[in-house]
């Protein structure tokens, strides 16, 4: 019935501010220029992250969390902190990974993540 995840949507209140954060702070590259609709898509591996405004979708501090896989946790965290990103969960180790949580300008939860080797 379900074949794959088409995209993960992140609702934002200020599209211009969100694009600046996702593109300049996080360094994501948009798949295409936005049209008249305030929506941008970023493909990472086999997953598409959609960032935009829609009347039916509102940002939430308790909504969906997106975890971004990184090559080097410490380097990534340091680079984000240098750009003013504040972490509300510092680097944490689990049995299978390391992760650290921060938020976009609307308070949506984002995570930098590093899987441990098998």
Q: In what order do the strands lie in the sheet with 87-93?
A: 66-69, 109-115, 97-103, 87-93
Q: What are the residues facing 10 on neighbouring strands?
A: 51
Say how far apart CA 51 and CA 96 lie, in whole Å: 28
Over the stretch 45-65, which tens digit does the pLDDT of each residue have? Answer: 989 999 999 888 889 888 888
Superfamily of 8-115 according to CATH: 2,3-Dihydroxybiphenyl 1,2-Dioxygenase, domain 1 (3.10.180.10)
Residues 6+ apart with CB under 8 A from 69: 44, 45, 113, 114, 115
pLDDT at 22 over 90: yes
- Answer yes or no: is pLDDT of 3 > 80: no
Q: Of the ranges 1-5, 29-33, 107-111, which one carries the lowest mean pLDDT score?
A: 1-5
pLDDT value at residue 37: 85
pLDDT tens readout for residues 86-98: 999 999 998 889 9
Mean pLDDT of the chain: 91
**In this predicted structure, what is the pLDDT of residue 40?**
92
């Amino acid at each position: 019935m379900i074949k794959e995840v088409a995209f993960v949507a992140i609702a934002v209140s200020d599209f211009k501010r969100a694009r600046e954060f996702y593109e300049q702070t996080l360094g994501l590259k948009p798949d295409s220029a936005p049209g008249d609709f305030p929506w941008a898509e970023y493909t990472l591996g086999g997953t598409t992250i959609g960032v935009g405004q829609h009347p039916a979708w509102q940002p939430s501090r308790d909504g969906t969390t997106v975890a971004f896989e990184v090559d080097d946790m410490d380097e990534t965290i340091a680079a984000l902190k240098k750009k003013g990103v504040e972490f509300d969960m510092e680097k944490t180790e689990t049995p299978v990974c390391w992760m650290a949580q921060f938020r976009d300008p609307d308070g949506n939860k984002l995570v930098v993540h590093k899987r441990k080797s098998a």
